[in-house]
Amino acid sequence: MTTSLDKVLYTAQAHTTGGRDGQGRSSDGAIDVQLSPPGSGKAGTNPEQLFAVGYAACFIGAMKAVGPKVGVKVPDDVAIDSSVSLGPTNGGAAYGIAVKLAISLPGLDDAAKQKLVDAAHQVCPYSNATRGNIPVELTIA
């Protein structure tokens, strides 16, 4: 089931050429990256690395947004180590990704950490986009 936006708050725009051996640039020039396939040894980044950074940043933002609602202050030194794995699915007929987020919330007790992560996972746009589509593993440090 597709969920429509009630209201557009922001739209990111980018122009990409060449696929995994190409170039990507945001419309405002804030991102201008050389792309290269994973493990190729070529200079550049790849879509999986960009997704890993984007998901982690979005998830931290979601924790900051829900923190006051659930009565948990997000520590200033919150951090996420993210990994996005790429591999074949359906016996090699297609490719997919899997995500792992290792969430560090220093200074919070275990119950507060879990409450915050659970609430954030419900509102994070990346979590909502991936839920039921790919494996997403959340661990709390």
* Domains parsed from the chain with CATH numbers: 1-45 (2.20.25.10), 46-140 (3.30.300.20)
Q: What is the pLDDT of residue 91?
A: 93
Q: Which residue has the tokens 């995500």?
A: 99
**CA–CA distances in Å: residue 135 to residues 17, 29, 100, 131:** 29, 32, 8, 8
Residues 120 and 36: their CA atoms lie apart, in Å, by: 32
Residues 92 and 130: their CA atoms lie apart, in Å, by: 21
Residues 87 and 106: their CA atoms lie apart, in Å, by: 33
Q: What is the pTM of this model?
A: 0.94
Q: What is the pLDDT of residue 114?
A: 98
Q: What is the pLDDT of residue 141?
A: 85
* Per-run averaged pLDDT (10 residues), the chain, 141 residues: 92 97 97 95 95 98 98 98 96 96 98 98 97 97 85
- How big is the CA angle at 13 (ends 25 and 1), to the nearest 5 degrees? 130
**CA–CA distances in Å: residue 7 to residues 21, 31, 101:** 35, 25, 28
